[in-house]
Amino acid sequence: MTENTEMIHAVGRRKSASARVHMKPGTGKITVNKRTFEDYFITAAQRGLVCQPLVITGLTADFDIVATIDGGGVIGQAGALRHGIARALEKYKAELRPVLKAAGLLTRDSREKERKKPGRPGARKRFQFSKR
């Protein structure tokens, strides 16, 4: 694809979280679920995780991002948003793909929570064995 000046849409996923990302050229403002970026992601580690694709490509202050995130916990949502932003940047400029791919940002982390099995306290944990 070529460079676009209109809105770019992408979806990112991690665990059970799903993020719909709408990106357009702007000043670097990020809004998540109608809240400010700093208000939604409280810790610096979460914010750093989300901004990773923008920092690696050097486009931190070039886009306004509006994201809607559903499901999962805060870390899963941050990972989903990171994946969505990376996919949107790839749609914006195809030349960024090798940089994003080398950093592992375009690969969806497919690890999901394993379901609880019947007759066990968890997915793999077993009750304590008693010989007598």
Give 91-129 pLDDT, tens digit per residue.
999 999 999 999 999 999 999 999 999 999 999 999 999
Q: Where are the domains of the chain?
A: 8-102
Map tokens 């994201």 to a residue. 67
**In the chain, what is the greatest distance between 2 CA atoms, to the nearest angstrom?**
73
**Both tokens of residue 58?**
């050097």
CA 18 – CA 13 distance, rounded (Å): 5
**8-102: CATH class:** alpha beta
DSSP H helices in 30-122: 37-40, 44-57, 74-92, 97-102
- pLDDT number for residue 60: 87
What is the enclosing helix (H) or strand (E) of 4? none
pTM of the model: 0.88
Residue 5's pLDDT band, with cuts at 50, 70 and 90, is low
Return the pLDDT at 106.
94
